[in-house]
Amino acid sequence: MRVKSWDSLKQWVADHWGIVVDAAVRRLGEEVRSELEALRDMLNDDKVARKVVASALLLIQAERLGVNETALRYFGAVASGAIGGDGYVSAAMGEVVLTSGKRTVAQLWAAALVAHGIKAEVRKTGSDGNALNVVASGGGAARLARLYFLYGAPLLEGGDNMVKNHKLTEAVELGAGGLDIRWEGLRRTDKGLVAADLIISGDGAAVNYNVYLSKNTIELKFQSKDRGRVELVARLLRLAGVRAEVKKEGGRGRWYVEVATDMLAAGRVELRKALAELVREAVARGWVDADKAEGWLEKLERGRVLEEGWPMYLVRLSGGGALEVRFGSTDPNSIERETQRLRGLGLKEGVHFTVKKPEGGKAGHVYILKEGLKRAAWLSVYGSEDQRKLAAKFVEYILQRAKEAGDDVGEKAKEIVEEGKERCSQTLKGLEKEVEVDGKKYVVKVRDGEAVEEDRDGRKLLRIKITAEVDGVTREYKITYGRHRIDAAEGFAFASDNAPGGR
């Protein structure tokens, strides 16, 4: 149905509102029917219509046309508008969230997501609990993140910083899984090259790339006169962990994407495995020299960068033997993105890492201090669930980069990481232990304990208060900590000869 104006579109949706209500009820339950039916008479109000027409049209589309590649493209484009507005993507939490102020608006969006195979729920949020969010989590969040990235707002190109939108960056990290990557059709070309088709597919998008095993490199290519198609090709590669740019071929009106061995080796493990299988098969057929293939396989199997998407950190030993962990770039957005990632991991700027912004065309950097690597190692064991996951990825990546830099660098990094993990947290409450003082044994039972910060004449003091039972006598003990020397924090406690039980 073609409509000529906004008013006629609102009227068309109102005339077909029964389809919307039935679709939502089938997916969310009968309890939503009355509120949604009442919403029909409010569609003449632009404030209401602007919030519900998009999700209503998506529901009608799913009911009338089903969910195919075209439907997913429209759904991804519309949903990306909602996410790119007040919504957000969190790879750490594994969630994609659409914000909404009204229950009926949230219900329609939840139904639209479910209609397109994405499990979602409506949650109360805010201090008063009146605001509502539509939250997709787990596999549904990963799928929504992929659709948002594949069919959403245009990418901003620019070297290795192809994705400059923070939400798109999070979407790549969250949606990276779930792609099907395989190869087929290994063959010899008229020019004597070895070629094959590499197929990357996921969520309604499927692309056949040409892969060539040339004299010195593995090359992946795709070209078309349709720039939109080539844009999708680049996005799929980005989800597979490969930074690819869309380029124009002279004045012929053709657009193309082209990447080679090193960039492919930086991709996700699924991509590297598929390419490695292709190379091995070419060697088995005698079409590629085994020695040359060995170099390719080494890069593909090791990967120059982990598939989680960390940028290329430099890890080395300084002249004095200290470990240096550093990421440099002339792009301010790359430095800012890495700064935000480290903060999200749980590291503090100035304490665990330092930042220098690029100026005058000169590169800036993010420098991980020794204490920062120790802290990341600690968080990988003792942090919150999300922190453990992110910190473990970061530590694994730094250890890999250190190992690639040499055995001495690898050993130094491993030593720092192990030292960080050895720092443990203990809970005092419930601790019970037998101790010996001057030849006499005592049973100590800790009933409670806490750390508190106190002000004394403008100075900060840290006190640990412990309520403990010693041989049946319960009292509170205090240990006070302070920085008395530059390189040490010292603690002390008073002991009195008139304490319960005697000196």
- 474-487 confidence digits (pLDDT tens): 888 888 887 666 66
- Same domain? 76 vs 195: no
- Same domain? 154 vs 47: yes
**Structural domain contains residue 462:** yes
Residue with tokens 């990290």, as numbered in its chain: 173
**Structural domain contains residue 308:** no
The whole-angstrom separation of Cα 183 and Cα 203 is: 18
Residue span of the structural domain in which 240 resides? 178-302
Per-residue pLDDT tens digits for 394-431: 998 899 888 888 889 999 999 999 998 887 666 677 78
pLDDT of the residue at 157: 46
- Same domain? 339 vs 262: no
Confidence of residue 161 (pLDDT cuts 50, 70, 90): very low
Give bridge partners of residue 461 from the DSSP assignment.
Answer: 454
- Same domain? 51 vs 188: no
Strand order in the sheet with 432-437: 432-437, 440-456, 459-470, 473-485, 488-492
Per-residue pLDDT tens digits for 34-83: 888 888 889 888 888 888 899 999 999 888 888 887 888 888 888 888 88
Q: Residue 383 carries which DSSP code?
A: S
Q: How many structural domains compose the chain?
A: 4
Q: What share of the chain is helix, strand, coil (3-state, %, to 5)?
A: 45, 30, 30
Structure tokens at 124: 């109360």
Q: What's the one-letter identity of residue 170?
A: E
The whole-angstrom separation of Cα 481 and Cα 282 is: 67
Contact between 476 and 466 under an 8 Å Cβ cutoff? The reply is yes
pLDDT of the residue at 160: 39
Q: Considering Cα of 152, then 158, then 161, then 164, what sign does the dihedral take?
A: negative
**Structural domain contains residue 501:** no
The whole-angstrom separation of Cα 255 and Cα 265 is: 24
- Same domain? 43 vs 164: yes
**Structural domain contains residue 347:** yes
- Same domain? 342 vs 253: no
CATH number at residue 94: 3.10.28.10
**Structural domain contains residue 500:** no
The whole-angstrom separation of Cα 95 and Cα 142 is: 8
The last residue of a domain, from among 391, 422, 453 = 422
- Same domain? 74 vs 208: no
- Same domain? 134 vs 188: no
The last residue of a domain, from among 112, 146, 171 = 171
- Helices first, then strands: H and E counts in the chain: 16, 19
Contact between 171 and 148 under an 8 Å Cβ cutoff? The reply is yes
The whole-angstrom separation of Cα 454 and Cα 202 is: 56
Single out the residue of 327, 323, 345, 328 nearest to residue 403, CA to CA: 323
Per-residue pLDDT tens digits for 317-367: 988 889 999 988 877 777 887 888 888 888 989 989 999 988 877 888 999
pLDDT of the residue at 308: 47
- Same domain? 166 vs 186: no
- Same domain? 32 vs 104: yes
**Structural domain contains residue 307:** no
Strand order in the sheet with 323-329: 314-317, 323-329, 364-368, 353-356
Confidence of residue 287 (pLDDT cuts 50, 70, 90): very high
**Structural domain contains residue 368:** yes
Which whole-number Å values give the CA distances from 171 to 4, 36, 68, 74, 157, in the listed order? 35, 31, 22, 18, 17
- Same domain? 231 vs 259: yes
**Structural domain contains residue 149:** yes
| pLDDT score of 306 more than 60 | no
The last residue of a domain, from among 135, 154, 171 = 171
- Same domain? 191 vs 294: yes
